[in-house]
Amino acid sequence: MGDYLEILSSYDLLDAYLVNLRLAFFSALIALLIGVILVLMRISPVPTMRWAGSLYVTLVRNTPLTIIIVFAALVLWPVLGLEFSRTFEVNFFWLAVVALGVYHASFVCEALRSGVNTVPVGQAEAARAIGLSFLPAARLVILPQAFRGAIAPLGNTLIALIKNTTVAAAASVSEVSQLMRAMIENQANYVLAIFFTVAIGFVVIVIPIGLLTTYLSQRLAVAR
């Protein structure tokens, strides 16, 4: 045990976890922004907008995340010229953020759409009756209640996003799964110990988020 702790102290696991958390934070902001736009498209009275939103969600949700990450690393940057920094590591970090955000936006959209379904139809009818058009009604009446009804699925999406940040290793981002691979290659005698150490780290991060979203979903539930 003492030997393993000494080996563990020679690796900066905390910094690696911070990379994953940074990936999750910035990706979540992008996913939320795109997800709100998508849910507005999906509940729009314009058929073309609904079709386009549905197409995005169906296409992206059924594409493996690894494919999207690799596309960002091998196509967005070298082929399409999307560059965030001339520093290799920084550029790949932000490419991974974009890929994660674009992918999880489809799940945010569906989570919010489930929240929209909890809003009584009479709320939208009342908004129209007082002269609100679609966007003001969505912004002032529908979405605030939809967010309250979608806290639990949004929390599940955030948890999935945090765990999926490990896929950023496919874009050469030095996060915790890449460090774990290096640790296993260099310390093959401690494979199980290394695996459980990394797994416990994610448990410590994820469980409080699950408890918080469960509490908020119960506390802020829309009264019926």
Question: Tens of pLDDT along the chain (224 residues)?
Answer: 667 777 788 888 889 999 999 999 999 999 999 999 999 999 998 999 999 999 999 999 999 999 999 999 888 888 887 888 778 788 899 999 999 999 999 999 999 999 998 888 788 788 888 888 888 888 888 898 899 889 999 999 999 999 999 999 887 788 888 888 888 888 878 888 889 989 999 999 999 999 999 898 888 766 55
CATH for 2-219? Answer: 1.10.3720.10
Torsion of CA 67, 72, 75, 78, to 10 degrees: -140
Provide CB contacts within 8 A for 217, sequence distance 6+. Answer: 151, 152, 155
Q: Can you tell me the distance from the alpha carbon of 77 to that of 33, in angstroms, rounded to the nearest whole number?
A: 22
70-97: burial string, b at 16+ Cβ within 10 Å, e else: ebbbeeebeeeeeeeeeeeeebbbbbbb
164-181 pLDDT, tens digit per residue, is 999 998 877 888 888 888
- What does the pLDDT read at residue 23? 95
Q: What is the three-class DSSP state of 118?
A: coil
- What does the pLDDT read at residue 1? 65
For the chain, domain boundaries:
2-219
Q: Can you tell me the distance from the alpha carbon of 153 to that of 217, in angstroms, rounded to the nearest whole number?
A: 9
- What does the pLDDT read at residue 222? 60
